[in-house]
Amino acid sequence: MGMAISAIKPPNINRSRLLHRFLQYVRLDTTADASSSSYPSSPGQLELGKLLVEQLKALSIGDAHQDEHGLVWGTIPATVAGPAPTILLNAHLDTSPETTGTNVQPRVIDDYNGNEILLGTSGLSLSATNTPSLNQLIGKTLITTDGTTLLGGDDKAGVAILMELAQTLIENPHLPHGPVRLLFTCDEEIGQGTKHVRLDKISAVAGYTLDGGGAGSLDVETFSADQATVWFRGKNIHPSIAKGAMINTIRAVGHFIDHMPKHILAPEVTDGRSGFLHPYSLQGGVAESKLLILLRDFDTPKLEEYAKLLEDLAHQTELLWPGLKVQVEIAHQYRNMGDGLRRKPLVADLAEQAYLRLNRPCQREIIRGGTDGALLTALGLPTPNLSSGQYNIHSPLEFACLDQMIEACEHLIVLLDLWQQHGRS
């Protein structure tokens, strides 16, 4: 890496302003809708994006705009003379459809005392029993739900962090950094976050997504992912005359699912680096049924093995019901971002150095899921994922930690300084 480099001390982050941003953003319903044919899939994403553009322009970020696809772009100008690498920072506007994001009522808990947290009148609660990480958050400021919706910290914590970072950098022009490209994507939760992203528009040497969990996490691997659509086509006829004529795809689907691996290769029984097959959606009737299955593994070639397993099972199922047709269609989703990051280790190394310069621990971790960073890395822009203080995502038990959001801002300031120093070494 050339000469030894030191890091600046970040300024105080405006705590109340960051909290205000976050509360403002989570109250906007930006739930992604996989059944929608539009992009973005929900109008709230356009609404939040428009608000961010207004706020960025108010900070004098002249190129801030929302493009024809709803993506929000802006560039924080460099504060150093001469060439310096451009870094992309990314967060996504949408929230998961797994729990409603309508009428979010966030609750702020200052100086958390370690006791059980009742979530409104929902009957749900947060405690060290269902969320052991609370034991490490005593004395922190937490933002929870009322138990009837998700919070939206995934990824509005990341959105708020980047917006607060932008204002902090603008207000402190003495902080050294090269150009900082901001990108807020849509529909990340349904795998479409980078559908309309162009690398030539990003024009950066590296990127970082702010879409991670607790403090100090550096996500350097994701699952590789495909989706299988399995079509079952049979024959319907009135049940009174069905003997020898009806081919009931509902029975065929039941047999197919029952013979998928249950004690291995299922999300209910795997963790760590173990992959899985996950049937998660079923629609249909007697004549035709459609089954959706997730294929996941850190070892990309294994996805082909999983697809072959499904195809063999489809053939075996056809043999049990003469005339039944079972068709397996495999759709590519994303690939392990670790494959790309290993080719350009500096990107993760500098993120780790920034944590260490702040005397904070850093854990390189794997994600049993995906991020925009995985898709950006596959496009050729190495983009690991950084912590943003999210917990219990996609759930009414979701909460965020304000103190860790502040730490994320501080980490980015040091990281950007390390990048500009590296560009000069």
Q: Which domain holds residue 187?
A: 15-222+336-424
Assigned domain for 66 exists: yes
**205 and 343 together in one domain:** yes
- Looking at 286, 308, 334, which one is the last position of a domain? 334
3-state secondary structure 267-306: HHHCCCCCCEEEEEEEEECCCEEEEEEEEEECCCCHHHHH
Query: Encoding tokens for residue 82?
Result: 């001469």
**311 and 345 together in one domain:** no
Assigned domain for 3 exists: no
Query: For residue 188, what is the domain's CATH number?
Result: 3.40.630.10
- Looking at 334, 362, 378, which one is the last position of a domain? 334
pLDDT at 5 (0 to 100): 59
At residue 129, the 3 state secondary structure works out as coil
**164 and 308 together in one domain:** no
- Crossing angle for the helix pair 15-26 and 153-171, nearest 10 degrees? 140
Assigned domain for 5 exists: no
Residue 219 burial (C-beta neighbours within 10 Å; 0-12, 13-18, 19+): buried
**241 and 281 together in one domain:** yes
Q: What is the amino acid identity at position 284?
A: G
**Can you give the pLDDT of all 425 residues of the chain as single tens digits?**
444 556 788 999 999 999 999 999 999 999 999 899 999 999 999 999 999 999 999 999 999 999 999 999 999 999 999 889 999 999 999 999 999 999 999 999 999 999 999 999 999 999 999 999 999 999 999 999 999 999 999 999 999 999 999 999 999 999 999 999 999 999 999 989 999 999 999 999 999 999 999 999 999 999 999 999 999 999 999 999 999 999 999 999 999 999 999 999 999 999 999 999 999 999 999 999 999 999 999 999 999 999 999 999 999 999 999 999 999 999 998 899 999 999 999 999 999 999 999 999 999 999 998 889 999 999 999 999 999 999 999 999 999 999 999 999 999 999 999 999 998 76
pLDDT at 2 (0 to 100): 44
pLDDT at 6 (0 to 100): 66
**240 and 320 together in one domain:** yes
**160 and 271 together in one domain:** no
**184 and 199 together in one domain:** yes
- Looking at 319, 334, 349, which one is the last position of a domain? 334
Distances in Å between the alpha carbon of 61 and those of 32, 159, 167, 298?
A: 28, 16, 10, 39
**158 and 299 together in one domain:** no
Assigned domain for 328 exists: yes
Assigned domain for 9 exists: no
Distances in Å between the alpha carbon of 245 and those of 234, 235, 254, 319, 323?
A: 10, 7, 19, 16, 10
Assigned domain for 2 exists: no
Assigned domain for 256 exists: yes
Query: Encoding tokens for residue 202?
Result: 């990003």
Assigned domain for 4 exists: no
Query: For residue 242, what is the domain's CATH number?
Result: 3.30.70.360
**322 and 372 together in one domain:** no
**216 and 279 together in one domain:** no
pLDDT at 369 (0 to 100): 87
List active site positions: 94, 188
**133 and 185 together in one domain:** yes
Domain count, the chain: 2
**238 and 355 together in one domain:** no
